[in-house]
């Protein structure tokens, strides 16, 4: 399966976070529901993402999540799910890698496989991503 590399940006439109456990100390667990909008190789007006977050200090930690993307990849329409893992640092930098959940592609994205990632820096309103994918 040949792979294609595509790029673009996303913005977060909504972030709702709540404590799960350890509210009075560290480590602490939280859950966040996020809405993102993608442009570029991935186009989606409003994704749905759910994160489990571990705070190790006041500003550092790790997260894992799933994001449902309904839109297009390089013009092909359909939906797919991204499994995401990452970490965040005291300076506000977030590093994330993601992978398409096998079997989650629909319509013109049936058989989609791929991986990608992004680095967010404090204060950015648009976050650049890369995505390498193939269709079986």
Going residue by residue through the chain (136 aa), what tens digit of pLDDT does each one get?
689 999 999 999 899 999 999 888 889 999 999 999 999 999 999 999 999 999 999 899 999 999 999 999 999 999 999 999 999 999 999 999 999 999 999 999 999 999 999 999 999 999 999 999 999 8
Among 27, 15, 20, which Cα is nearest to 54's? 27
User: According to the model, what pLDDT value does residue 25 have?
Assistant: 85
11-41 in b/e form (b: 16+ CB < 10 A) is eeeeeeeeeeeeeeeeebebebebbbbbeeb
Decide if 73 contacts 6 (C-beta within 8 A).
yes
- Which tokens in the block code for residue 113? 């496989």
pLDDT of amino acid 120: 97
Q: What is the pLDDT of residue 2?
A: 82
> What per-residue confidence (pLDDT) applies to 1?
65
């Amino acid at each position: 399966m040949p792979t294609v590399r595509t790029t673009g940006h996303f913005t977060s439109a909504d972030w709702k976070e709540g404590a799960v456990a350890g509210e009075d100390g560290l480590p602490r667990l939280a859950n966040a529901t996020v809405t993102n909008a993608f442009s570029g190789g991935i186009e989606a007006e409003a994704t749905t993402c759910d994160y489990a977050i571990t705070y190790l200090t006041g500003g550092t930690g790790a997260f894992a999540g799933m994001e449902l993307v309904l839109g297009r990849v390089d013009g092909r329409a359909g939906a797919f799910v991204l499994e995401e893992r990452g970490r965040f640092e005291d300076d506000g930098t977030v590093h994330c890698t993601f992978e398409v959940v096998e079997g989650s592609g629909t319509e013109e994205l049936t058989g989609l496989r791929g991986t990608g990632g992004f680095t967010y820096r404090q204060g950015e309103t648009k976050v650049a991503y890369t995505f390498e994918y193939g269709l079986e």
